[in-house]
Amino acid sequence: MVNNQKESKKTRILVIGDRKKNPIDLSAMVSEAFPECEINYVEAPDEDKLKIETLPPHAILLDVKRNGKNSFEACKKLRAMEYTANTPLVILLPSTTAIEHKIRGLNSGADVVMVKPLNASELGAQLRALLRIKNAGDELRQEKEDLMQILWDKTSALRESQEQLKNILDNNPDHILHLDPDLKILWANQTALNLNHKAVGQYCYEAFTLRDSACEECPCLKALETQKKETAVVYQSEFRGVGKSYWESVGIPLTDRKEKLTGIIKISRDISESKKKEEQIKNSLHEKEILLKEIHHRVKNNMQVISSLINLQANRTENLAIRETLKESQLRIHALSAIHETLYQSESLTGINLKTYVSRIVTPLLQTYATVSPRVTFSIDTESLVLAIEQAMPLGLVINELVSNALKYAFPGEKNGTVSVSLKRSGQHLVGAVSDNGVGIAPHVDLNTSDTLGLNLVEALVETQLNGSLELIRSKGTHFKIRFQIKEPAFVNE
C-alpha cells in the first residue's frame, strides 16, 4: 500500500504506545528538542496501518509498559518491516528495568535504550545523534547504490564489449592463439578450436602441426628473440585437419608495463590456395616467356634467311651500285634482327639492354667495311640502360645508318680516324651521339633537304618514331646528336 500523505519537511517522530495512559508528556519533550518536529502516535507497530496513517518516520520512540516485554517484541516487529527497518529506534523502559532487559532491548534491534523518568535534553541529544547517524548512513547507502549502479553499467558494457570481441575473434577465418613464452596455448579462437577442440593447454606445434618441437621458420620463436612483430610463410607437411599446406603466420610479442615478455599472439592463415594459384601464374608466365623467346628466335632466323637471300642476290649482280644498296639493306635487316636476338637471350622480354644491343649492331658493320675498319678506332660509351622495345628498334636503325655513313665516307683513301657512339641518360631523356673525326660531311648536305635514303631514314626515325630531335654539328669531323624522352620501363641495369 502506498502512503498518499503530502511529504513534509519537518522531522517526523513516531511514538508507539498508549498516549492516554502515559503519564509522561513525550510531545512536550520532543517538541522542546525539535521545535519543528511532527509527532505521530500509534498504539501498535502494524505495518499496513503505519503506511496508511503516517509518512515514513525519521525516528521512533517505543513506549510499551509491563517491564518492556511488549517493547522487545514490538522492536523485533519494527525491524522486520521494510517500512521501518533502518529507522533510528529508541526503547523507553521503566525505571525498575534490570540490566539484562536493557541488553535484550539492544539485541532486539533498538539503537538506544532509555530508562524513565526521561530527561528532555538527553532525549533530544540521543535523537539528534541517531538522526545524524541515520543521515550519514542514508548518504553512504545512496553512494553505495550509485557506485553499484556505475559498476553494474561498466561491468555490463565490459561484458558486452568482451562478447563482441569474442564474436569477432571467433568468426575470424584466421587461427588466433594466445601463447605463453614456452609456446603453450592459453587461449584459442573458435576457428582454431574447430581443428582441435583440446588445443588449450597444449603446445601450438603439437596441437596443430603434430611436431615434437617448433619449426625452424616459426615467427613466434623469432618474435621471442627480437621482441618485435615477425612474419613468415611456413610449409607444413602435416597439419591437423588440413594435411600438406602453406601458412602465413605472424608472431606478436606481449609485454607488461615493465617491458617484461608475458606471451605471444600468433595469427595464422592458410594460403595454400593462393600459393597454388601463384604457382599456376608463374608456370603460365614461364610458358609464355618460352613462347615469346621462341617467336623472337624464329623471327631472327627468318631475318637471317632474308639477309642471306639478299647477300646471294648482291653477289650475283655486277652492278656495284645495286650491290652496295643490297648490302645496306642487309645491314638494316641485321639491326632489326639484333633486337630479336637480344630479347631471345635476355631474362626480360620488356626491354632491351642498349650496351649489348649496340655492340651487336656495330660488329657486322665493322665486318662489312673490313677495308676501312682496320684504320678506324671504334669507341662505344653506352650505359647499361634497359630501353623499351618500341624505342630500341628505331634507335638501332639510326645508329646503323650513322655508323655506316661514317665508315663509308669519313675516311677516304688511307686516312685513319675514330668513330664513337655515346648513349647517356640525362634525367628523363636519352642523349646520344655518333661522331667521327674524318673529312666531315659535305657543306651542301642539309638534313631537311637531303635526298639520300640513309639520312632521310635517320631523320624520319628520330622525329616520328622517337619523337626526338636530331642535330648535325660540323666541327673537326661530323657529329650527329640525338635527344628524346625515355619511355618506361627504362632503368639502369646494375
In the predicted model, what is the mean pLDDT of the chain?
81
476/439 Cα distance (integer angstroms): 8
Helix, strand, coil abundance in the chain, percent, nearest 5: 45, 20, 30
Give just the sign of the alpha carbon dihedral 125, 118, 82, 51.
negative
Q: Which residue has the higher pLDDT, 397 or 235?
A: 397
pLDDT in tens, 58-76: 888 887 664 445 778 888 8
Question: Cα separations (Å) of 278 from 173, 232, 290?
Answer: 21, 17, 18
Question: Which set of grid coordinates corresponds to residue 256?
Answer: 607488461
What's residue 490's pLDDT? Answer: 44
* Residue 72 DSSP label: H
Mean pLDDT of 335-364: 73
Mean pLDDT over 260-280 rounds to: 86
pLDDT of 294 > 50? The answer is yes
d(C-alpha 119, C-alpha 9), whole Å: 26
Strand order in the sheet with 38-42: 38-42, 12-16, 59-63, 89-93, 112-115
3-class state of residue 477 by DSSP:
coil
Please state at what angle helix 320-345 crosses helix 354-368, rounded to 10 degrees. Answer: 150
Question: How many other C-beta atoms lie within 10 A of the C-beta of residue 131?
Answer: 16
C-alpha to C-alpha distance for 61 and 37, rounded to whole angstroms: 13
Q: Which of 134-148, 163-177, 480-494 has the lowest mean pLDDT?
A: 480-494
Considering only residues 157 and 413, tell me which one the structure prediction assigns the higher pLDDT: 157
The pLDDT of residue 392 is 84
Per residue in 374-393, pLDDT (tens digit) is: 888 888 898 878 888 888 88
Relative to beta strand 245-255, strand 261-270 is antiparallel
Percent of the chain with pLDDT over 90: 16
pTM over 0.75: no
For range 410-415, the mean pLDDT: 83
User: Percent of the chain at pLDDT above 70?
Assistant: 83
Cα(423)–Cα(361) distance, integer angstroms: 14
Q: What is the pLDDT of residue 188?
A: 92
Interval 463-482 mean pLDDT: 90
| Mean pLDDT calculated for residue range 268-281 | 83
Confidence of residue 4 (pLDDT cuts 50, 70, 90): very low
> pLDDT digit string (tens) for 310-325?
778 878 788 888 877 7
Q: Which of 30, 100, 99 is nearest to 63 (CA)?
A: 30
Judge residue 219's burial from the number of C-beta atoms within 10 Å of its C-beta, 0-12 exposed, 13-18 middle, 19 or more buried.
buried
Beta-carbon count within 10 A of 147 CB:
10
H or E stretch covering 128:
helix 120-170
Q: How many CA atoms lie within 13 A of 77 on its CB side?
A: 14
Contacts of 300 (CB under 8 A, 6+ apart): 337, 340, 341, 344
Angle formed by the axes of helices 453-460 and 389-409, nearest 10°? 150
Cα(26)–Cα(19) distance, integer angstroms: 9
Range in 42-56, 57-71, 355-369, 459-473 the model is least confident about? 42-56
Distance CA 144, CA 137 (A): 10
C-alpha distances (whole Å) from 389 to each of 185, 287, 386, 486, 488 are 57, 21, 9, 11, 10
User: Does position 94 have pLDDT exceeding 90, yes or no?
Assistant: no
What cell numbers appear for 490 in the block?
A: 627504362
At residue 176, the 3 state secondary structure works out as strand
When comparing pLDDT for 475 and 297, which is higher? 475
pLDDT tens-digit profile of 214-266?
A: 888 889 989 988 889 998 888 776 676 666 778 889 999 998 888 888 999 99
How would residue 451 be classed by pLDDT, with cut points 50, 70 and 90?
A: low
- Give the pLDDT band of residue 343 (cuts 50, 70, 90): low
Q: What is the pLDDT of residue 37?
A: 80
